Amino acid sequence: MKKEYCGLFAIYGHPEAARMTYFGLYALQHRGQESAGIVTWDGTRIREQRGMGLVADVFSERHLGKELKGQVAIGHIRYSTTGASLLRNCQPFLVRFGDYHLAIAHNGNLVNTMARLRTQMARGRTGLSLVRTGCNAVAVGFGLLAWFGTAATGWTVFNLFLSAVGMFLIGDGLLWYVPADRARRATTLCTADFELAIPDYTATEATWGRARAGLDADHAA
């Protein structure tokens, strides 16, 4: 028998966008029965309502008639294939960054998320190593230059070359480190020192295993 997972519905430019989205999700209820959510936008403000259960249980006339105002709406019903059946996993996800707001709903799994994060974290650690090596090379180069001076041409050329190599390593390391550090700060799966938390969705977050960057989940300690 064919199985269908999750349902999406969105509408633009309707004075009762939330109500129309509600009807759309209701018609798609066979695609997911765990949770439901609707996010609306009235041009200035984003409003949301999400909850566990069926569409008719999550939304009331108060939500559809008063609270979820706006002519733009996106809705989602969930049938979990990855992740626990919890309120925090209900969609649409609402992301707030300063004055910017973004509502996201998807149907599917990001199957390579951890692999990409491990690769990114490994690049970050490599970049940090390059930066440290470059700083040491620059320090040694300028230190020797200050000690021997510029009287000996051979030493001067060598020290300047060593310093130049060090600055190149610093620049190259930053190109690796900065994007990885941004990724680390942007995801809750990353902890200090470029570690990754390997999610075990059958357990609480406090008991999630950890793996060093570059290691597979099988090596989680």
From the list 6, 90, 135, 190, the catalytic residue is 6
How many CB atoms are closer than 10 A to CB 202? Answer: 7
Q: d(Cα 160, Cα 140) in Å, to the nearest integer?
A: 10
- In angstroms, what CA-CA distances link 183 with 59, 119, 171, 210? 35, 11, 19, 17
How many CB atoms are closer than 10 A to CB 7? Answer: 23
**Would you call 190 a catalytic residue per the annotation?**
no
Cα maximum dimension of the chain: 87
Residues taking part in catalysis: 6
